[in-house]
Chains A and B, each alone.
Chain A
Amino acid sequence: MNGTAIAAIYRNEMARFFRTLAQSFISPVLSASLYFVVFGAAIGSRIDEVEGVSYGAFIVPGLIMLTVMTQAISNASFGIYFPKFIGTFNELLSAPLNFLEIVIGYAGAAATKSMFIGIIILITSFFFVDLQIAHPMAMLAFLVLTCVSFALFGFIIGIWAGNFEQLQLIPLLVITPLVFLGGSFYSISMLPPVWQTISMFNPVVYLISGFRWAFFGVADVPIGLSLLAIGAFTAACLGVVAFIFKTGWRIRQ
């Protein structure tokens, strides 16, 4: 394992994050704060408690998940697509490192960035709502797993994408609707029965439910199922990464 090379990629990616601090950090924090103001304070004050939790607090886990998922995907996909676009990817290919090390460097940095943003949003939420975390370790574990798995997914999108349009395609057309309809801002039990059934086919429901359980001890689906879902998603992403690693798909001619 070429640890020096992994560290070099990781540091380089993190440096870009801090170089573009306004874009990388202030923007998602501002968006999250607006959600708190609009949904938590303005609309939330007219909504009763959901599952025994005030609406302002109820949306915190969903909001963090929404942000970390989209940030992990966009950071990882852009991180690996950018060198392909500007032509510096060949430097990676000619360096004495294997694809797994490239993945660890890029996806690791993207996961760190999204986790950093997730924690900042969590800290921000304490300024808006009264919040207590029932299972802090489980919350942290869910956060780490979500950041890592979605960073891996973003990395795969970045390798697959042939242009900027394709880079945005899956995050905009698949991930954002799934996250919004995955119970970020409501409990699945609030939906009509038919939509509850349909929602069960949305994998994001399991992730948000598990994360919310870690906060409040209440969940839309059993916690075991949530763990299985995040485990399966991580395994699927690792499987695709292994396929890319073995075949050089979209990397080496």
Chain B
Amino acid sequence: MPTILSIKNLRKSYKGGFEALKDVSLDIEEGEIIALLGPNGAGKTTLISTICGITMPTSGTVTVAGHDIISGFRAARSMIGLVPQEIALEQFEKVINSVRFSRGLFGKPRMDGVVEDVLKRLSLWDKRNAQILELSGGMKRRVLIAKALAHEPRVLFLDEPTAGVDVELRKDMWGIVEQLRADGVTTVLTTHYIEEAEAIADRVGVINKGEILLVEDKDKLMARMGKKQLEVQLTAQLDVIPDALSGYDLALGDGGNTLIYSYDTKSERTGITRLLKDVADAGLSLRDVVTRQSSLEDIFVTLVSEKGEGDQ
């Protein structure tokens, strides 16, 4: 897929010397969903704000479909839609007028069919004549998305779209992002919900203290860095790991009722067969055996903490 968004050596410093972005470079392919993960204050919102024209970069370049965000700002911004983190809406305005306003602001002529389509896709059509203040928090978030989509952008930025929303709405949002992907819209999502990135992203970028620590295909990342664990649940409680099993990377869990074996999925031999045989030979009786894949969250915590240690 061709690159639609290219960020090169982007830096952003504020008065007082605080560097919010440190030499960030990133290429985003057309049609993909990329999740930028990072703790609060990592620089996620600054990165999005700089690309969208809300803050000015200190140095570096950003292009959207080849258009520089400074010298070709009109062409670049007309391709971008931004869903902000905060619910910022004119409360007394009607839903449909607010969405029409956004379309006009991006220089697009009034086309009621497009606005109707956007509102219907976001289940807002029935509320089109309602004042925004009458809507629930979840519906207001949908209005924000509708406003961002009103001018038919090719790249959509979602800044913490599900912060503070319930599980049901979060899953609805994921469904909306999937629909957009089907329409060819590139989505850049910032989140600190690992579960969100794991559920919908094609690629994951980890950002911390203004630096991109890693950008990788989500599945490859999990395969490369993900460890698997085998949990052997026992019928009788153990106080210590038997000497016969001391050669394995084992830990006791569940108050001594479970043996936890960590192994590398990339290894040719995982050692599971031999372990289970040795467990049986040691006279331990098994209740159940389960495996668990380490989550993106584990990977994220490992990356951020490793980087932190490296800085010290």
Interface residues of A (CB under 8 A from B): 2, 4-5, 7-9, 11-12, 15-16, 19, 86-88, 90-97, 248, 252-253
Contacts and interface: CB of A to CB of B under 8 A. Distances in A.
A16 B97 CA distance: 11
Interface stretch (B73-81, B205-213, B218-226): B73-81
Interface of B: 14, 49, 52-56, 73-78, 80, 82, 84, 86, 88-92, 97, 100-109, 147
Given A7-B104, A15-B97, A96-B75, A252 B56 contact: yes
A189 B100 CA distance: 54
A248 B105 contact: no
Nearest to B92: A19
Given A87-B88, A96-B73, A96-B74, A9 B105 contact: yes
Contacts of A97: 74, 105, 107
A94 B52 contact: yes
B74 A252 contact: no
A8 to B, nearest CB: 3
Contact of B84 (A9, A15, A90): A90
21 contacts: A4-B108, A8-B101, A8-B103, A9-B105, A16-B92, A86-B90, A91-B105, A93-B52, A94-B52, A94-B53, A94-B80, A96-B74, A96-B76, A96-B77, A96-B106, A96-B107, A97-B107, A248-B56, A252-B55, A253-B55, A253-B56
A24 to B, nearest CB: 13
B56 A5 contact: no
A97 B77 CA distance: 9
Given A86-B88, A94-B53, 8 more contacts: A4-B107, A5-B105, A8-B103, A12-B97, A91-B105, A96-B75, A96-B76, A252-B53
Contacts of B102: 91
Pairs of residues from A and B, 6 with the lowest C-beta to C-beta distance, nearest first: A8-B104, A87-B88, A96-B77, A96-B74, A94-B52, A95-B105
A175 B201 CA distance: 56
Contacts of A4: 104, 107-109
Nearest to A92: B105
A20 to B, nearest CB: 8
B88 A253 contact: no
B62 to A, nearest CB: 13
Given A5-B106, A8-B101, A93 B56 contact: no
